[in-house]
Amino acid sequence: MTSQLRKRVYFDHSATSAVLPEILGAMEPFFLERYGNPSSIHEFGREAKTALDDARQKVANLICASDPSEIVFTSGGTESDNLAVKGVAMYKGKMKGHIIASKVEHHAVLEPCEFLKRFGFEVTYLPVSSEGLVDPGDLEHAIRNDTVLVSVMMANNETGTIQPIKELGKIAQGRGIPFHTDAVQAAGKLPIDVKGQNIDLLSLSGHKFHGPKGVGVLYVKKGTKIEPILLGGGQERGLRSSTVNVAGAVGMGKAAEIAMRDMDATCQKMKSLRDKLISEVPKSVPRAYLNGHATKRLVNNAHFRFDFIEGEGLILQLDFKGIAASTGSACSTGSLEPSHVLLAMGVTHQQAHGSLRLTLGRENTEEEVDYLLEVLPGVVSKLREISPFNETRPMGPGEGGCSV
Ligand code: PLP
């Protein structure tokens, strides 16, 4: 592909992904002729309920849940995280206790933790290594007699680093503490087995793996003590009142089915493109460094930082060339605060500002990766010419290497 074509290239699949035509097709009847409320007892209601049950089963299959009734449909990853953190901590109206979360959690976990602190809870934030990993030993030490919840994400939305969930879950469960993991970025890219990985609560979001926006799931293991945060008509076994978004749930169910069906092939393809980016970007751009773990990372994530670069400028310049990328998570875009994830990993404020997250999807091609590799060096050197942080000496390709 030449730069003249200016084809649009989408490397921001961790922000959101396209609804696949197959998924849209499965959803469509539930907007048109099958629009019943699944709580209604007439035929319209019954057919909606059947579709909802089927979607629940498909999501249960994706995460190896033994019973579809453990799947609670929500409005997205944010609501699932809020329900897990607040719902477990505040069980039976409790207003005190100790929560453990990692420093690199998504804001959908961190903000509920901060909210609970205002009402008397205490929170310990676990540190991470320079590669973004939580040390299970730190979790052992942080647990107290009054710890009510441990929450550590399966894979980070910025760096793609994959946490040792099975070990962390074993430690928490071994002390009788519910273990929650935010698997929003992991779905479709990592095998998930809630029983085998010692997970009590798990959050998913439909739009991150080709389902629609505005639908999510919280897996709640049978017997987990949790209070609803939305009260009303008692839908979703009383855990999440409000008429269920049937079309959304059907779309998420279909997305789960497709994720399982295609996981091996799509992961293999994304991994080879990711590996090309990881090996080629630091060769073609001086002083470029990989963020996150070299191997324990999502198959679709290549996240770099560049000296003397301001990330937002880089995103805009790439956008001019038709390439959609991100500095980190979509929700922090527009914020001048450096990423809390990179700071927790020991990256300096200045370097944290010079980040580029490229997240691949099933439709990306090698040609598109080559186009990025063709365009990026010129864009970076142009930005460095005007950077106030730049050192004046010229830099050659390969200088500085890659800190993997
Ligand atoms: N958790 C993680 C790890 C995420 O990446 C996101 C979205 O970026 C969320 C939670 C929030 O999901 P949603 O946008 O569906 O509310």
Length of the chain: 404
Structure tokens at 112: 């509920």
Predicted local distance difference test score (pLDDT) of residue 337: 82
pLDDT > 70 in the chain, percent: 93
Predicted local distance difference test score (pLDDT) of residue 253: 98
Q: Kindly give the pairing relationship between strand 288-290 and strand 216-220.
A: unpaired
Q: Which pTM does this prediction carry?
A: 0.94
Give, for 317, the enclosing helix (H) or strand (E): helix 311-320
Tell me the CA–centroid distance for residue 108 and ligand 1, in Å.
7
Residue 254 or 397, more confident: 254
Residue nearest to atom 10 of ligand 1 (CA): 77
Handedness of CA 291, 294, 297, 300 (dihedral sign): positive
C-beta 108 within 6 A of ligand 1: yes
Ligand 1 nearest-atom number relative to CA 76: 15
Q: Please, which residues have CB within 8 angstroms of residue 372's CB and are 6 or more apart in sequence? A: 9, 11, 277, 318, 323, 358
Q: Say if CB 159 and CB 291 are below 8 A apart.
A: yes
pLDDT over 50 at 403, yes or no: no
Predicted local distance difference test score (pLDDT) of residue 391: 61
C-beta 78 within 6 A of ligand 1: yes
pLDDT over 50 at 399, yes or no: no
Predicted local distance difference test score (pLDDT) of residue 388: 72
Predicted local distance difference test score (pLDDT) of residue 335: 58
Amino acid letter at 95?
Answer: M
pLDDT in tens, 31-51: 999 999 999 999 999 999 999
Q: Calculate the average pLDDT of the chain.
A: 93
Predicted local distance difference test score (pLDDT) of residue 402: 31
Predicted local distance difference test score (pLDDT) of residue 13: 98
Which of 85, 182, 205 to probe ligand 1 with, by most ligand atoms within 8 A of CB? 205
pLDDT in tens, 287-309: 999 999 999 999 999 999 999 99
Predicted local distance difference test score (pLDDT) of residue 404: 29
Structure tokens at 402: 């890659």
pLDDT in tens, 188-242: 999 999 999 999 999 999 999 999 999 999 999 999 999 999 999 999 999 999 9
pLDDT over 50 at 393, yes or no: no
Read off the pLDDT of each residue in 65-82 and give the average, rounded to a whole number: 98
Give, for 343, the enclosing helix (H) or strand (E): helix 340-344
Is 267 annotated as catalytic?
no
Tell me the CA–centroid distance for residue 195 and ligand 1, in Å.
23
